[in-house]
Amino acid sequence: MYIEVEKGVHLFVQDIDPGPGSKPIFFVHGWPLNHKMFQYQFNVLPQYGFRCISMDIRGNGQSDKPWGGYSYNRLADDLAVVLDALKLENIVLLGFSIGGAITIRYMSRYGGRHVAKLALVDAVSPAFVKSPNSPYGVPKEQATTLINQMYDNLPKFLDDVSLTFFNRNLGAATLNWFAELGRESASYALIKLLQEAAREDVTDDLSKINVPTAIFHGVHDQLIPFKSGELTNQKIKGSQLYPLYNSGHGLPIDQSHEFNKLLMQFAK
């Protein structure tokens, strides 16, 4: 289905509902991907009574690809419109990577409306770029280099990122699949999203989260270091940190079986 989030901009939403009484989990994907990255969750969780709803962030996957609107605030507003339109209540809101940052901003900006629990997965938090609030981020110069590589040769850039995304050898087919998901996005959307991540900081948003929160983070994450996950854990009152010891940044794929078990335990 498609939901209009502002005039002329429609987002693709997938809703896998196993039936009455199912518990809703709403998935927000990361960069440079789309909702298909959660296939190893969608294949399993509905069997255990979980309704899996996901959307493609604007510019990505099957959603519309406008030139503008890639700020964290606008993306949080998009999420709010979708949740309102679906009339969802008491959901588990799950955000992966930059999707984690978007869900954090949503929780702060909208007071956690519709949300009973929050799951952050390798979230871009507190910030992508190193700062006093986020000392484990990448240097600003490195972020600029990454953005410039997308301008110069996006296909090669996506292939290179795939090599650092996972912690184990998943084979050429999986790496090609990852890169192909990136190629379903508008190139300018990928650039703008990374530019936004490079300038944003969600530190002030973290203290406004007041629902049970689980932080799942790959210990070997090369993009958002595990120490950033530990820092996020410290800044969200009462949150629980779940280290995934054999995962890099792509833990829903690196350790899908372990992650699914932990997520279902948290979501029930």
% helix, strand, coil for the chain, step of 5:
45, 20, 35
For residues 80 and 229, the answer to whether their CB atoms sit within 8 Å is no
Angstrom distance (rounded) from CA 185 to CA 173: 19
- The conformational region for residue 49 under phi > 0 = left, psi -120 to 50 = alpha, else beta, is left
The residues pairing with 16 across neighbouring beta strands, listed in sequence order, are 52
Angstrom distance (rounded) from CA 81 to CA 86: 9
Beta strands at 50-55 and 9-16: parallel, antiparallel or unpaired:
antiparallel
Among 104, 83, 92, 80, residue whose Cα is nearest residue 51: 92
Q: Which residue has the tokens 């609107």?
A: 69
Q: Which residue has the tokens 């954090």?
A: 104
For residues 118 and 97, the answer to whether their CB atoms sit within 8 Å is no
The set of catalytic residues is: 97, 221, 249
Among 244, 174, 236, residue whose Cα is nearest residue 207: 236
For residues 40 and 24, the answer to whether their CB atoms sit within 8 Å is no
